[in-house]
């Protein structure tokens, strides 16, 4: 098959190349050990403690190394997005004095920082994968996909579009041309060359070395409306934003083999990944995830209303981030968070328990160390805020 011809057939209007984008977003002029990290939420509403902690991590590592902290809005799943979602997130980050270097509202040289505005970029990268034979169009309808799933369930086979189930994988150029002429909708799929019976060895900054089966599923890279699901979008964005460290929720760990396959199909250097365990809550003998629905202390407003300053919450986050922080903080009464050097390997591998009593106790220590004038200013500030509420 002439893959270049196929790429032009599928993307006749894409005239840019990856090279063009690499020139637009050149490697950053930073020192070798500087960390470029991002917080990449969906714009679904106000921050809660879970994502405030999740953003504390890249912000801390980026600035500790004189790097860059990016806020990228992932709004490709528009069902959950709310209209002013980006503004609310930025407002909450600013209230906690996180230094956001690049974001969708104030911009930066590596934007747009909102995925729905990056469609042309994704098409260019998709076109490239077609041109090297690593992606193909799939015309299967939702009903056909559901049917494949039924057969797999019946046969107790793995679910997914792979191997003999991937029927569009072997369409000829002529068959594809015919379908395109008939305006049949299509999605772009990865042509996986993985083998489920082989394992990849992957080094996570927090969890250490992990072995997981290779990906062999021809996942959807770009949907028929030109919008990519998370996997493809994050690879393209993290590459062009020159992100060095991907810190994200631990729930993505099982998708790592697929994500690595995308990185490698482009031939790009893979950034470091750090998968963060969620904040947990202890309820009697059981441990469960801190929930923004069930737990009032999961809301950021909970702390404002009780006069617990942002700095105290951050000190608590610092103790969760590195187990040796607290001892250091107690031994260094005149220091603050930015004087401490955090490392990924001192993060919990089993998940942290969110302990409100400890947070309050740290808050007390913080207050006790404030100079009279600073304490006065803080109280005035809090009274003003509470009067406005």
Place of tokens 């400890």: 358
Binders in 98-137 for ligand GLU, by CB under 6 A: none
Residue partners of 215: CB distance under 8 A and separation at least 6:
192, 194, 196, 257, 258, 260, 261
Place of tokens 């072997």: 170
Selected from 118, 127, 134, 248, the binder of ligand GLU by CB under 6 A is 248
Cα separation, 171 vs 118, whole angstroms: 29
The nearest distance, CB 13 to ligand GLU, in angstroms, is: 28
In this complex, which beta carbon is closest to ligand GLU, that of residue 292 or of residue 358? Answer: 292
**Contact by Cβ (8 Å): 127, 108:** no
- Helices then strands, counting H and E runs in the chain, come out as 14, 12
Binders in 41-70 for ligand GLU, by CB under 6 A: 41-42
The secondary element (H helix, E strand) that includes residue 319 is helix 310-321
SS3 category, 279: strand
Selected from 74, 216, 218, 261, the binder of ligand GLU by CB under 6 A is 74
Selected from 20, 249, 305, 327, the binder of ligand GLU by CB under 6 A is 249
The nearest distance, CB 41 to ligand GLU, in angstroms, is: 5
Binders in 220-239 for ligand GLU, by CB under 6 A: 234
* Structure-derived torsion over alpha carbons of residues 90, 96, 100, 105, reported in degrees to the nearest 10: 20
The nearest distance, CB 155 to ligand GLU, in angstroms, is: 33
In this complex, which beta carbon is closest to ligand GLU, that of residue 175 or of residue 249? Answer: 249
Selected from 6, 40, 68, 274, the binder of ligand GLU by CB under 6 A is 40
Query: How many angstroms separate the first and last alpha carbons of the chain?
Result: 65
Pick the piece of the chain touching ligand GLU (CB under 6 A) from 13-21, 28-36, 38-46, 181-189. Answer: 38-46
In this complex, which beta carbon is closest to ligand GLU, that of residue 40 or of residue 241? Answer: 40
Strands 245-249 vs 272-276: parallel, antiparallel or unpaired: parallel
Pick the piece of the chain touching ligand GLU (CB under 6 A) from 14-22, 37-45, 264-272, 357-365. Answer: 37-45
Rounded to a whole number of angstroms, the CA Rg of the chain reads 24
In this complex, which beta carbon is closest to ligand GLU, that of residue 108 or of residue 133? Answer: 108
Pick the piece of the chain touching ligand GLU (CB under 6 A) from 40-48, 131-139, 308-316, 324-332. Answer: 40-48
The nearest distance, CB 113 to ligand GLU, in angstroms, is: 13
Q: Which residues of 167-184 are buried (b: 16+ CB within 10 A; e: fewer)?
A: ebbebeeeebeebbeeee
Residue 78 as a binder of ligand GLU (CB under 6 A): the answer is no
* Structure-derived torsion over alpha carbons of residues 101, 84, 123, 272, reported in degrees to the nearest 10: 40
The nearest distance, CB 148 to ligand GLU, in angstroms, is: 27
**By the criterion CB under 6 A, which residues form the site for ligand GLU?**
40-42, 74, 234, 248-249
């Amino acid at each position: 098959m002439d893959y270049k011809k196929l790429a032009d057939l599928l993307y006749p209007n894409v005239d840019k190349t990856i090279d063009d984008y690499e020139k637009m977003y050149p490697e950053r002029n930073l020192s070798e050990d500087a960390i470029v990290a991002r917080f990449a939420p969906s714009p679904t509403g106000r921050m809660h403690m879970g994502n405030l902690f999740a953003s504390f991590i890249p912000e801390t590592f980026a600035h500790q190394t004189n790097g860059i902290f990016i806020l990228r809005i992932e709004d490709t799943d528009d069902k959950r997005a709310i209209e002013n979602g980006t503004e609310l997130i930025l407002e909450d980050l600013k209230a906690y004095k996180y230094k956001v270097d690049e974001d969708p509202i104030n911009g930066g040289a590596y934007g747009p920082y909102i995925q729905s505005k990056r469609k042309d970029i994704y098409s260019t990268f998709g076109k490239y994968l077609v041109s090297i034979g690593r992606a193909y169009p799939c015309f299967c309808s939702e009903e056909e996909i559901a049917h494949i799933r039924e057969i797999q369930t019946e046969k107790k086979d793995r679910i997914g579009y792979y191997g003999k189930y991937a029927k569009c994988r072997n369409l000829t150029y002529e068959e594809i041309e015919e379908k395109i002429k008939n305006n049949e909708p299509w999605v772009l799929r990865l042509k996986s060359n993985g083998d489920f019976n082989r394992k990849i060895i992957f080094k996570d900054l927090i969890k250490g070395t992990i072995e997981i089966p290779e990906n062999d599923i021809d996942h959807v890279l770009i949907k028929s409306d030109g919008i990519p699901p998370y996997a493809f979008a994050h690879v393209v964005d993290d590459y062009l934003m020159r992100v060095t460290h991907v810190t994200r929720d631990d729930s993505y760990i099982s998708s790592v083999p697929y994500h690595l396959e995308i990185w490698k199909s482009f031939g790009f250097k893979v950034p470091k990944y750090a998968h963060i365990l969620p904040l947990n809550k202890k309820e009697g003998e059981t441990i469960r995830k801190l929930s923004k629905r069930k737990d009032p202390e999961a809301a950021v407003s909970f702390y404002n209303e009780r006069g617990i300053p942002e700095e105290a919450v951050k000190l608590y986050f610092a103790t969760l981030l590195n187990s040796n922080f607290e001892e250091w903080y107690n031994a260094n009464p005149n220091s603050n968070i930015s004087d401490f050097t955090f490392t990924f390997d001192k993060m919990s591998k089993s998940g942290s328990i969110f302990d409100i009593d400890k947070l309050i106790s740290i808050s007390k220590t913080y207050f006790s160390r404030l100079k009279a004038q600073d304490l006065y200013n803080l109280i005035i500030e809090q009274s003003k805020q509470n009067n406005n509420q």
